[in-house]
C-alpha cells in the first residue's frame, strides 16, 4: 500500500517511523495502525478501508498521532531543560 500522507522533509520518514514504534511499543511502524485498530475493536484490513466510518478511522489515527505529538513535546521540553 502506498503512503498517501506527505511529510515536508522526506528524509524524516525514518525518524518518524522510529518515533511511532517507540510511542506505540511496536517493532514495525507500518503495522501500528492495525494493532491500534484491533485494540479499539475496529476491523481494519491491509489495502482499501474506505468502508469504515470516519469516526472509527479517527480513533485509530488520532490515538497514534496524538501520542506521537505528546512524545515530541516531552522530548522538546527535556532538551530545553538540559540546555539550562
CB 29 within 8 A of CB 18: yes
CB 14 within 8 A of CB 8: no
* Per-residue model confidence (pLDDT) at position 23: 85
Q: Name the pLDDT band for 1 (thresholds 50, 70, 90).
A: very low
Could you tell me how many residues make up the chain? 84
Burial class (CB in 10 A: 0-12, 13-18, 19+), 75: exposed
**Domains held by the chain: number:** 1
Q: Is 4 domain-assigned?
A: no
Q: Name the pLDDT band for 76 (thresholds 50, 70, 90).
A: very high
* Per-residue model confidence (pLDDT) at position 66: 87
Q: Is 23 domain-assigned?
A: yes
Which range marks the domain in which residue 48 is found? 10-83
* Per-residue model confidence (pLDDT) at position 30: 79
Q: Is 3 domain-assigned?
A: no
* Per-residue model confidence (pLDDT) at position 4: 62
Q: Positive or negative CA dihedral for 34, 36, 41, 42?
A: negative
Nearest to 81 by CA among 73, 12, 66: 73
Amino acid at each position: 500500500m502506498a503512503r498517501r500522507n506527505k511529510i515536508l522533509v522526506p528524509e524524516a520518514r525514518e525518524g518518524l517511523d522510529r518515533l511511532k514504534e517507540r510511542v506505540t511499543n511496536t517493532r514495525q511502524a507500518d503495522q501500528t495502525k492495525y494493532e491500534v485498530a484491533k485494540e479499539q475493536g475496529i476491523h481494519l484490513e491491509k489495502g482499501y478501508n474506505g468502508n469504515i466510518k470516519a469516526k472509527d478511522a479517527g480513533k485509530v489515527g488520532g490515538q497514534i498521532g496524538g501520542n506521537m505529538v505528546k512524545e515530541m513535546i516531552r522530548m522538546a521540553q527535556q532538551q530545553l531543560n538540559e540546555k539550562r
